[in-house]
Structure 1
Amino acid sequence: MSTSDVTKDGIEGERQGRSALVGQGLDGHRTRRGRRSGRNGRNGRGGRRGERPVVPEAEFTSYYGKPILNQITWEPRDIAGYFFLGGLAGAGSMLAAGAQLTGRARMARAMKVSSLVAIAGSTAALIHDLGRPERFHHMLRVAKLTSPMSVGSWLLAAYGPAAGAAVVAQEARRQRWLGRRLVSAATVLDRAATAAAAGLGPGVLTYTAVLACDTAVPSWHEGYRQMPFLFAGSGLAAASGMALAVSPTAQNGPARSAALAGGLLEIASAKVMEHRLGLVGEPYSEGQAGRYMRAAEALTVAGTATAVLLAGRSRPAAVASGAALLAASACTRFGVFHAGRQSAEDPRYTVIPQRRRGESDAAR
């Protein structure tokens, strides 16, 4: 109940801040008179000139102090490891196919084995993080092209056996005691399985980026244009690092070229994404995510430079550059994971982009 009263001497008992503010509208919204003037073409902007907002900027809080978005409950080790190992496997199969076609047998063999181990680890990490791991097979009950998780599950289901068959057939063709017919059959199977794994490799390499961007997590969702390129560069750098670490120096030419391409793509994509995201890109340079991303950039530069300049002549340099590139790729995946978690925890990264989109739509 108001305690103010109108007397001959004016208003008595007036409470500060309770009087109406006449002629002033809210920032970013049209008043009724402004809409009329906009339609009549008086100022063309839907409001009186010189109007000032009287409502202060909102504080980004939520009901009962709870976050706006449901918090990420995934374990960093499981999901970031799932991202990293999947990229290593997919790019590794492509390098294995290229090495086999160019007669680099030892490099092809090593990359097939590493891809099989990586995809097994990636699948195990994904299943371990599920609430009910024993129900993983339910993900294959349907195939839904609009669901990145469904597409990814089928990719894993097809890629895993192909990678495994390539390793088994490769080892069988080395066993001459099996007989000519069995060795010939193993050779045909090896070529077919290697080609199939390489064909599925790009999908395995990048689908996890689409999976992350299909969520409501701001720093993931808003980066949907650059994230697949970032994951592709990171995975290619990891696979080339593995090839440098396990291949003879005389056979690592393609790995050095792949390291250069992957390193440049990873660094460029990360920079472009952070720049284009603006406010939502802040988590990639702050906190735990920022530390991971800075470490990834430094390791990528060091590993790529060593691979290009020294790995072709020195076996220790090749191993060192390979280790640096593998570590850089892992840091990138952990950095992306923690950036998403940080953006989901802060309401600013959800509210401000929505407000800007609303203002942009209203201005059209």
Structure 2
Amino acid sequence: MVARAEFRSYYGRPILKRPTWKVPDVPGYLFLGGTAGASASMAAAAELTGRRELAGAGRWVAAAASVTSVAALVHDLGRPERFTHMLRVLKPTSPLSVGSWILAPFSALATASAASQTTGRLPRLGRLAGLGSGVLGPAMCTYTAVLLSDTAVPAWHEAYPELPYVFAGSALTSAAGAALLCAPGADHGPPTRMGLLGVGMELAAMRRIERRLGLVGEPYVTGRPGRLLTWNKALAAAGAGLSLLADRRAAPLLAGASYLAAGLCTRFGIFAAGMASAQDPAYVVTPQRQRLGPGRGVAT
């Protein structure tokens, strides 16, 4: 019998074209958008429950993060008009098109709400704008996960069931961290609970990715992406522990900083894992051939 051939790509070149997205523009855009969405939803809930200081901080974070997120996206696109061109049509089958139509109104509403709060003008319209951005907040937290998983990049595409939960959990912890830092005199009960929920959601989803994906999941646990995601776990756990030390003055600030650093590690780590999987042909072809059935797989 002829020995099974080892897999090698055409002239040793990558099969997929590596995404041309820039660093830190796109990972920063992923982080800031999620933080803005969760902060807006937290601010809306705080407004409805009478926690005005927490609501004010959430509005400011949502506005600042969403505007900076748009700036990072425009910088990656190269020309501002490319972003406006994406708003010419709404294509429900395109995550990029739908995401553009989530990002644009969310940013406008969040900015209007923060401006009304700062100037004291049109308070009713400002409150409505804040509630509107809060309604769009969950979509802001997760649409970028759908955007990544809709590509052909193996580490992103194969993790499509879990990535929205990872991004949602990371957004919750980041928004909780921003609230702990920016509203030191507010009621820290809601952001503390939100951070704990986010840590649990994110770590559980990442654990499932690592166990379920097999070969395609290797980029999440090896190399630079693996180191970033290991730091994420440590920082998220540290933030959760520190957030429970309410009687210590510096604890909320340290917890907030840990949560925000964990969120950055998550987005940069997942982005780097996708890039690594696109460069190695084994992550592209081997899982496809394994799905053809017994005897059709390729040894790596």
TM-score bracket, normalised by the shorter chain, equals over 0.9
1:246 has 2:182 as partner: yes
| Pair 1:315-2:265 in alignment | no
Which of 115, 134, 137 aligns to 1:201? It is 137
Paired position in structure 2 for 1:147: 94
123, 127, 150: which one pairs with 1:191?
127
Higher relative contact order (CA 8 A, sep 6+): 2
The answer (yes or no) to whether the contact 1:106–1:248 under 8 Å persists in 2 is: no
Tell me, in whole angstroms, the C-alpha distance in 2 between the residues paired with 1:266 and 1:280. 19
CA 1:140–1:298: 2 relative to 1, 3 Å: same
Partners of 1:82 and 1:123 within 8 A in 2: yes
Q: 2:224 aligns with which of 283, 288, 310?
A: 288
Contact 1:152–1:208 (CA under 8 A) maintained in structure 2: yes
1:333 corresponding residue in structure 2? 267
Which residue of structure 1 lines up, in the alignment, with residue 50 of structure 2? 103
Q: CA deviation at 1:131?
A: 4.4
d(CA) in 1 for partners of 2:124, 2:163: 37
Supply the distance in 2 between the matched residues of 1:188 and 1:359 (Cα, whole angstroms).
Answer: 61
Offset at 1:194?
A: 1.2
Task: State whether residues 163 and 197 of structure 1, in contact with CA within 8 Å, keep that contact through their aligned partners in structure 2.
Answer: yes
Q: Name the amino acid aligned to 2:183.
A: S
Q: Answer yes or no: is 1:118 the counterpart of 2:52.
A: no
SS of the equivalent of 1:359 reads coil
- Aligned with 1:164 (options 108, 111, 118): 111
CA distance in structure 2 between the aligned counterparts of 1:164 and 1:133, rounded to whole angstroms: 19
3-state SS, counterpart of residue 243 of structure 1: helix
Q: Does 1:358 align with 2:292?
A: yes
Letter in 2 for 1:334: F
- Does structure 1 residue 75 correspond to structure 2 residue 75? no
Unaligned 5+ runs, structure 2: none
* 2:13 is aligned with 1:66: yes
1-side partners of 2:21 and 2:267: how far apart? 14
d(CA) in 1 for partners of 2:224 and 2:34?
Answer: 22
Structure 1: gaps of 5 or more residues? 1-52, 174-182
Whether 1:224 aligns to 2:171 is: no
**8 Å Cα contact 1:249/1:314 also seen in 2:** no
Residue 225 of structure 1 and its aligned partner are, at CA, apart by 0.1
* Structure 1 range deviating more: 164-173 or 136-145: 164-173
If you compute each CA radius of gyration, which structure gives the higher value, 1 or 2?
A: 1
Alignment partner of 1:304 is 2:240: yes
- What whole-Å deviation, never above 9, does each CA across 1:239-282 have from its counterpart, x for those lacking one? 00001111134511101000110111111111111111111000
Give the TM-score normalised by structure 2. 0.95
Q: Please tell me the residue identity of whatever aligns with 1:116.
A: A
Q: TM-score, normalised by structure 1?
A: 0.79
What code does the residue aligned with 2:291 have? Answer: R
Q: Distance in 2 between matches of 1:360 and 1:208?
A: 35
Residues 1:56 and 1:122: Cα distance change in structure 2 (over 3 Å) = same
Number of aligned residues = 297
**Cα deviation per residue 1:88-123 (whole Å; 9 max; x = unaligned)?**
000000111111122221121111111111011111
Seen in structure 2, the aligned counterparts of structure 1 residues 102 and 313 have a Cα distance that, compared at 3 Å, is farther
CA distances 1:305-332 after superposition (whole Å, capped 9, x unpaired) = 1112x1x223311000000000001000
Is residue 346 from structure 1 mapped to residue 293 from structure 2 by the alignment? Answer: no
Contact 1:76 1:337 in 2 (8 A): no
